[in-house]
Amino acid sequence: GENVEQHPSTLSVQEGDSAVIKCTYSDSASNYFPWYKQELGKGPQLIIDIRSNVGEKKDQRIAVTLNKTAKHFSLHITETQPEDSAVYFCAVTTNSNSGYALNFGKGTSLLVTP
Amino acid sequence: GAGVSQSPSNKVTEKGKDVELRCDPISGHTALYWYRQSLGQGLEFLIYFQGNSAPDKSGLPSDRFSAERTGGSVSTLTIQRTEQRDSAVYLCASSLASGTGYGYTFGSGTRLTVV
């Protein structure tokens, strides 16, 4: 199956700074790249996604960039706030006949300190 | 419903017993997925249902695990003869359809503890 690597596993930033999380994948046919945020005791929640025909997408303080040639995509959070503290997961899916389940990275635990 | 509902939220069971975990997806969502999340780990794919098609069971870790989806809606994940290594949070998600480009909506999960 698709191999998804996510870095870093933990990230600590001061409030107001930017945070960047990067994921790499192995299947060049992959074409959908969502990011999820998981708060303690809750299920992951979709925060932003990007398709393979787009290089960048922004939604207020969060953005995702995609480099299909290098097979990596990144989550950027600007002006971080304490409520951004959570575990973030990247995921990849490929349009194949074997199914469409998302393959997730192992997650990044983000801590934003006041 | 407004979201994906999972029950129970917590389950403690003795080693060797069978357990059933329930998932009620968002109304109208035809695709349903089960994932397992062990402590501090990522999400491990277990099984995927799309409409009335045969499920993709490629992620089930052993034949003690099975799942069904009745009437294209509610799904039950069954673990037989539970073992301590089965302890994890079991997450269910649904999406409008299968295929790429459809974000999942996750439930809050069932935390299973096998003692």
Say what the pLDDT of residue B79 is: 98
E strand intervals along chain B = 5-7, 10-13, 19-24, 31-37, 43-50, 65-69, 75-79, 88-95, 105-106, 110-114
Q: Which of residues 19-78 of A touch B (CB under 8 A)?
A: 31-32, 34, 36, 41-46, 49, 51
Q: Are A45 and B106 an interchain contact pair (Cβ–Cβ within 8 Å)?
A: yes
Say what the pLDDT of residue A98 is: 47
CB A34 within 8 Å of CB B103: yes
Residue-averaged pLDDT of chain A: 91
Phi–psi pair at A83, nearest 5 degrees: -70, -5
Say what the pLDDT of residue A61 is: 97
Closest by alpha carbon to A48, among A82, A91, A79?
A91
Q: Are B108 and A41 an interchain contact pair (Cβ–Cβ within 8 Å)?
A: yes
pLDDT tens figures, B22-57: 999 999 888 899 999 998 778 999 998 988 788 888
pLDDT tens figures, B57-105: 888 999 999 999 988 799 999 999 999 999 999 999 998 876 555 778 9
pLDDT tens figures, A31-73: 889 999 999 989 999 999 998 888 999 999 999 999 999 999 9
Least confident of A79-88, A98-107, B38-47: A98-107
What DSSP state is assigned to residue B72? G
CB A110 within 8 Å of CB A87: yes
pLDDT confidence band for A96 (50 / 70 / 90): low
Say what the pLDDT of residue A3 is: 81
Show Cβ contacts of residue B63 under 8 Å, excluding neighbours closer than 6 positions: none
Q: Are B107 and A102 an interchain contact pair (Cβ–Cβ within 8 Å)?
A: no
Q: Are A99 and B56 an interchain contact pair (Cβ–Cβ within 8 Å)?
A: yes
Q: Are B100 and A32 an interchain contact pair (Cβ–Cβ within 8 Å)?
A: yes
Q: Are B48 and A89 an interchain contact pair (Cβ–Cβ within 8 Å)?
A: no
- A32, A59, A102, best to mutate vs chain B, most B CBs in 10 Å: A102
Q: Is B18 helix (H, G, I), strand (E, B) or coil?
A: coil
pLDDT confidence band for A99 (50 / 70 / 90): low
Say what the pLDDT of residue B98 is: 63
Asked if residue B61 has a cis previous peptide bond (ω within 30° of 0), the answer is no
Nearest residue in B to A30, CA atom: B100
Token code pair at residue B51: 């409409």
Residue A97 contacts B, CB cutoff 8 Å: no
pLDDT(A17) > 70: yes
